[in-house]
Amino acid sequence: MTHDEIYERITSILKGEEDWITAMATVTCELHNAFEHFHWTGFYRTTSPGILKIGPYQGGHGCLVIPFEKGICGAAARTGETQDVPNVHERPEHIACSSTTNSEIVVPIKKTTGEVVAVLDVDSDRKAAFSNADKQLVEQICDWLGREYHFVEKAIS
């Protein structure tokens, strides 16, 4: 499947779905199984100011809690910007939830107000694993989730 086909598949499956947890679980499953180099795929949700907690994911165990001030996921949540890290060992703030992770991309999901409600984290055991097309797909999905699930604050309170 192409990146465009994966995006269309995800948005088609979730058409009319109102449950945020269902949406996160579905996105995680579809992305994780679509790409061989996506070794850990999952969400961290903003559960209180400055705190991310693990949401639906596929792969080995993830970190349960990540403060906004820590790690690549925290940087994405804190800045509201995508973190594309070809080599996590070159980022001193990287939290090694898995010792095999070598590259990572983390994309924030924002409410229409700009507030970050979650991040989508994709890790790979390979260095520089993620192409520009991978990054654009994950960003496109996160933008769509932010628009489609604008009421998400009800689901995470």
pLDDT digits (tens, 9 = 90+) for 49-90: 999 999 999 999 889 999 999 999 999 999 999 999 999 989
CATH class in words for 3-152: alpha beta
Contact 101, 37 (CB under 8 A): no
What was the pLDDT predicted at 157?
42
Phi-psi sector, 5: left (phi>0), alpha (psi -120 to 50), beta = alpha
β-bridge mates for residue 85, sequence order: 104
Residue ranges, the chain, pLDDT below 70: 150-157
Find, among 156, 137, 155, the residue nearest to 41 by Cα.
137
Q: CA triplet 141, 1, 98: central angle to 5 degrees?
A: 60
Domain segments of the chain as ranges:
3-152
β-bridge mates for residue 124, sequence order: 103
What was the pLDDT predicted at 35?
96
Task: Name residues whose C-beta falls within 8 Å of residue 116's C-beta, 6 or more positions apart in sequence.
Answer: 46, 76, 77, 80, 108, 109, 110
